[in-house]
Amino acid sequence: MFKRIDRLLMMVIFAISGPVQALPIVSVDGREWLQPADFLSISWNYIASVCSPTTGDCTSGPLGTVTDMGPWTWAGVDDVNALFNSVVGNTAMGPGPDEVDYGFDSVFPLFTAAGFSPTRSDRLSTQISGWTRTLCNQFRCFPTDPNNREAYIGVVAQGFGYDGIPAVDVISTAISANAGASLAVGGWFFRDPLPPQSAPTPDTAALLALAIATLGYTCRKRSLTN
């Protein structure tokens, strides 16, 4: 298990070029998600200068290929767990950092079908990965050292098998990396659309029209009597 996690980390340490404009927004169970590929090669620390690691709230302005982050929230580990569970159709992930293995080619296609674009693809794996706002608080993650602290990455990976490791689909929020590193991973950001404004019912509209007409008639009558 740890050997495979280390190998996954090795596969994301080399940055690749990202898209030049924002990719389409993905909607899952009513919640909208930006594409992790919109934020490639941006460190956790840099994202934290735009979006709060505590609340996830982002300030207005650009980040990656997105022109305005104001409406968006930086997802924590459990937000990403909920997304992964929604796409796969179970509750296997969470609470907290977690990891689940699936049969090869069994769940990764669900994420591409939902609309997510890979953040990298090579002969070893295809991945959709991004920083969560959640810092790792385990001793191995140097949580009290601002220069070496680590944060969790949400990863959906389709591994093609190598060095005796079988081909497998992996979903994880338990992999962490140095928060100051610029990796070939993006970021997870979501927003919950505002509920639609309810249109007045025909009866309400008719009563409103009647009230306006009555008010106009009353004002006209007073004008004539004066």
CA-nearest of 109, 190, 206 to 118 is 109
Q: What pLDDT score does 212 carry? A: 58
Q: What is the pTM of this model?
A: 0.79
The model's pLDDT over 142-152, given as tens digits with 9 standing for 90+, comes to: 878 878 899 99
Q: What pLDDT score does 83 carry? A: 98
- The list of the chain residues with pLDDT below 50 reads 1-7, 9-18, 217-219, 221, 224
Q: What pLDDT score does 99 carry? A: 96
Q: What pLDDT score does 147 carry? A: 82
Q: What pLDDT score does 215 carry? A: 54
Q: What pLDDT score does 207 carry? A: 56
Q: What pLDDT score does 38 carry? A: 96
Structure tokens at 57: 């709230």
Burial level of 116, CB count in 10 A (0-12/13-18/19+)? Answer: buried
CA-nearest of 60, 8, 17 to 42 is 17
Q: What residues does each domain of the chain span? A: 2-195, 197-226
Q: What pLDDT score does 196 carry? A: 65
Which residue type, as a one-letter code, is found at position 189? F
Beta bridge partners of 152: 176
- Rounded Cα distance between 71 and 51, Å, is 11
- Rounded Cα distance between 147 and 175, Å, is 18
Q: What pLDDT score does 28 carry? A: 96
